């Protein structure tokens, strides 16, 4: 399969520390790739290398099917927001966006205005960027990254500093651009609950190592969904479950029973408990979040 971005055993060493250790990721055109990892895991280092802002120690990468040395000038096809936005503090948002457009050869005077509206900065007026809130600076940084409708947009913690409404607006904007224009996004975020609402593929990285790469539906299937059952007799309840063919269970210290299979049989379970004289106090389905799965995965790696 041809990938729009691919890395092969990327390694980056600072002194004696490996910031990246043999990382190989694969991103297809039109994907929203969620890069997941705690601070210092290697996310930003990886993004800097594939955008040419840093040089790997070993390994290689390709973009648009071309190796790094064959890329030439792809500035107009790739937008990026990594760490702090590259903003001229003494200029307002419109001028910042105008300068970015000029830099990549866009002379259409309506393009900066379109970007202002796209990221929700129409009301910023003549306010200088140095007086922007963190959220406004993030919006402007995203607008700069989107100048010229690039094929690939790389965003490092794009919702950092945004209020809940701003997060929803940026999330909707990303999904709209992805759906309508086929824009490929690589997004790192520590707010995994938000990332899980838009990402179509994930790369989970920890201590410079890629632990897992999977499509969203594959990742969700690995999340440890369960049914939690509380009765007046946990040992007898387990026997009833076994008679129903439900054996993947765990009894907690408080007597609560976790069931890890046949989640659609809560009705059968309740009826069977009653038929055997067991009182059901509570039965509820619980779906593990992507964030909890990540913490469980990273915990295993640490062990």
pTM for this predicted structure: 0.79
Per-residue pLDDT of the chain (303 residues; tens, 9 = 90+): 679 999 999 999 999 899 999 999 999 999 999 999 888 889 999 999 998 889 999 999 999 888 877 777 666 688 889 877 789 999 999 999 999 999 888 888 899 999 999 888 988 889 999 999 888 888 899 999 999 889 999 999 888 778 888 888 888 889 999 999 899 999 998 777 788 889 999 999 999 999 999 998 888 878 878 899 999 999 999 999 999 999 989 999 999 999 988 888 999 999 999 999 999 999 998 877 788 888 888 876 655
Look at residue 261 in the predicted model and tell me its pLDDT.
87
Domains 5-221 and 225-287 equal at CATH topology level: no
**Domain extents in the chain:** 5-221, 225-287
Q: Given this model, what pLDDT does residue 301 score?
A: 60
- Cβ atoms of residues 30 and 181 within 8 Å: no
Q: What is the pLDDT of residue 196?
A: 86
**CATH classification code of 5-221:** 3.40.50.300
Whether the CB-CB separation of 80 and 154 falls below 8 Å is answered with yes
Evaluate whether the domain defined by 225-287 bears CATH number 3.30.70.980. yes
């Amino acid at each position: 399969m041809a990938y729009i971005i691919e890395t092969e055993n990327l390694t980056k060493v600072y002194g004696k520390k490996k910031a990246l250790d043999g990382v190989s990721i694969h991103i297809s055109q039109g994907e929203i790739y969620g890069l997941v990892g705690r601070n210092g895991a290697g996310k930003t280092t990886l993004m800097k290398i594939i955008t040419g802002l840093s040089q790997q120690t070993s390994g290689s990468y390709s973009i648009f099917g071309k190796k790094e040395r064959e890329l030439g000038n792809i500035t107009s096809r790739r937008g990026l927001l990594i760490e702090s936005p590259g903003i001229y503090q003494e200029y307002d948002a419109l001028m910042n966006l105008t300068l970015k457009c000029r830099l990549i050869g866009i002379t259409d005077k309506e393009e900066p205005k379109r970007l202002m509206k796209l990221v929700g900065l129409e009301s910023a007026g003549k306010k200088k960027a140095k007086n922007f809130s963190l959220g406004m600076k993030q919006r402007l940084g995203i607008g700069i990254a989107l100048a010229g409708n690039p094929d690939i947009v790389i965003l490092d913690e794009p919702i950092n500093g945004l209020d809940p409404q701003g997060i929803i607006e940026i999330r909707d904007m990303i999904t709209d651009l992805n759906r309508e224009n086929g824009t490929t996004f690589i997004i790192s975020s520590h707010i995994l609950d938000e990332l899980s609402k838009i990402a179509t593929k994930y790369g989970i990285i920890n201590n410079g190592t890629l632990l897992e790469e999977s499509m969203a539906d594959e990742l969700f299937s690995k999340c440890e969904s369960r049914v939690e059952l509380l009765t007046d007799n946990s040992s007898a309840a387990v026997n009833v479950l076994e008679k129903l063919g439900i054996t993947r269970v765990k009894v907690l210290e408080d007597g609560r029973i976790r069931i890890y299979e046949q989640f659609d049989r809560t009705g059968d379970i309740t009826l069977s408990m009653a038929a055997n004289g067991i009182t059901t106090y509570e039965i509820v389905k619980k779906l593990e979040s992507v964030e909890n799965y990540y913490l469980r995965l990273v915990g295993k790696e640490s062990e």
